[in-house]
Amino acid sequence: MRTIPDGRQFIDSNDINEVSKGLKQDLITTGSSVKKFENKISNFLKVNHALSCSNGTAALHLAFKAIN
């Protein structure tokens, strides 16, 4: 049986260094990298606020809460 890949990743040394830096922080889910990412996303989308989530289920939960 032949495997058909549905996606390929590209990971370079910069990606590895950034992940390593994040893992060395005290709070990996709310650290400075997360805030930097959220700021970049909000600037890119030209919106005042942006949130990142740990997974798609959390994102959907927040979206439903936002629309009540």
Residue 31 has what pLDDT?
Answer: 77
Range of the domain at 45: 35-68
pLDDT digits (tens, 9 = 90+) for 17-33: 988 988 888 887 777 88
Q: Is the pLDDT of residue 2 over 90?
A: no
Considering its fold, how many domains does the chain have in total? 1
Is 53 among the domain residues?
yes
12 occurs within a structural domain: no
- Give a yes or no: residue 15 inside a domain: no
Contact (CB, 8 A) for 37 and 23: no
Q: Is residue 51 domain-resident?
A: yes
User: In sequence order, what DSSP letters do the residues of 22-66 get, joined into one string?
Assistant: HHTSS-TTTSHHHHHHHHHHHHHHT-S-----SSHHHHHHHHHHH
11 found inside a domain: no
Indicate whether 27 belongs to any domain. no
